[in-house]
Amino acid sequence: MATSAENVSSDLQPLPVRTLADVRDQVAQEIGVKIVNKAERLDDVKIGVMLTFSKSDDVGFLKQIAHAIRECCLQDFLFVIATTGPPKDSDANFVFICSSTEDYVQRAVLLTTAKFVGRAVAIQNEPNKTCIISVKDVGYSSYDEAALWDVVRKSARSPIDPLVPPPGSRWIDNILSDARAQLQRLEPAMAYEELREPEVNAPTFLVDIRPEAQRNEHGGIAGSLVVDRNGLEWKFDPRSHSRLIIADRYDLRVIIFSQEGNSSSLAAHSLQRLGLLNATDLIGGFNAWREAGLPVDIPIRTAHSVLSLLPGESLV
């Protein structure tokens, strides 16, 4: 028995010493397999995003991951691996793009640089359908991973017919119709009479959201409050730090008009979604007001007038 044990032990060879390079290669293999196994499938393309902590020789490590991905992914793919945390050997983190086709890579590069404007500082095209983008401060907010997922999903999507509406899109007339269904719209004469009421339950305002060029060309309605459309919600939301002085309550009666009465409906509906349920708009817009022969200068006869409620505000 002793002789047998001696023979077995003499045949055993010591295991080779594992180097740091061996460990890195194993970790890269595991990350490559993991990202492929957890990949989403979009239009027959495997896609995925993974964030990994920055290490020394990040570029070499990312290339090892890409090699592992190619070995275990046998179909079209697009993956993004980004380093996070303080970079070790550079001034920025790396966003590494690897794919089965050059087209996917180039789409992803363009979208990534657009998503990280001011943070993407360098682009390095690599062989084997890969690219490295240097991006500052990756992973410090939830935006980054979400943005990279958006990049891979849009880059891998099959080209669509530009003349065919994409799924989920809606015709503007349908959107406008739905918005108007939520409003009690006013004919110009009705709005005029409401503005002339000596007593009202809540302050009433006629709001002109037309651009300056239209006001200059077609004229305006004296006594109306001019508010740019792109700032309307912030000016009338009582919770907004940019609100007007008079926008301190939710029962305001806001009557919006545009040139023809289309954009005003969408604007009034937007105010209703903020909680201003008395917001509405003028049917036919300024054109209808003028065609109805209504005066440009509205008599202001009560303490609830625009002038008395808007100290310091600009009126037309």
DSSP 92: S
Are 294 and 177 in a shared domain? yes
Model's pTM, two decimal places? 0.57
Query: What torsion, rounded to 10 degrees, do the Cα atoms 280, 286, 290, 294 define?
Result: 30
Are 148 and 187 in a shared domain? no
CATH of the domain at 199: 3.40.250.10
Are 145 and 269 in a shared domain? no
Residue at 314 is within a domain: no
Are 177 and 134 in a shared domain? no
Which residue, 156, 190, 208, sits at the end of a domain? 156
What 3-state DSSP class applies to 239?
coil
**Tens digit of pLDDT at every position of the chain (316 positions):** 555 555 555 566 666 666 777 777 888 888 888 888 888 999 899 999 989 887 777 888 888 888 888 888 878 999 999 999 888 778 899 999 999 999 999 999 999 999 999 999 999 988 889 999 999 999 999 999 999 999 999 999 887 788 888 888 999 999 999 999 999 999 999 999 999 887 778 899 999 999 999 998 898 998 899 999 999 999 999 999 999 999 999 999 999 999 999 999 999 999 999 999 999 999 999 999 999 999 775 444 443 444 444 544 444 4
Look at phi and psi of residue 128 and say left if phi exceeds 0, alpha if psi is from -120 to 50, else beta: left
Residue at 77 is within a domain: yes
The tokens for 4 are: 């047998």
Residue at 140 is within a domain: yes
The pLDDT of residue 10: 59
Are 127 and 181 in a shared domain? no
Instruction: State the total domains in the chain.
Output: 2
Which residue, 94, 123, 156, sits at the end of a domain? 156
Question: Residue 138 in contact with residue 93, Cβ under 8 Å?
Answer: yes
Are 64 and 106 in a shared domain? yes
Among 238, 183, 229, smallest CA distance to 207 is for: 229
DSSP 183: -
**Whole domain around residue 287: which residue ranges?**
172-309
Q: 234 burial class (0-12, 13-18, 19+ CB within 10 angstroms)?
A: middle
Can you count the helices (H) and strands (E) in the chain?
Answer: 12, 10
Query: What torsion, rounded to 10 degrees, do the Cα atoms 56, 59, 63, 68 define?
Result: 40
Q: What is the spatial distance between Cα 89 and Cα 57, in angstroms, rounded to a whole number?
A: 7
The tokens for 246 are: 């008079």
Among 196, 258, 269, 283, smallest CA distance to 236 is for: 269
DSSP 254: E
Are 147 and 202 in a shared domain? no
Are 263 and 305 in a shared domain? yes
The pLDDT of residue 305: 42
Are 299 and 227 in a shared domain? yes
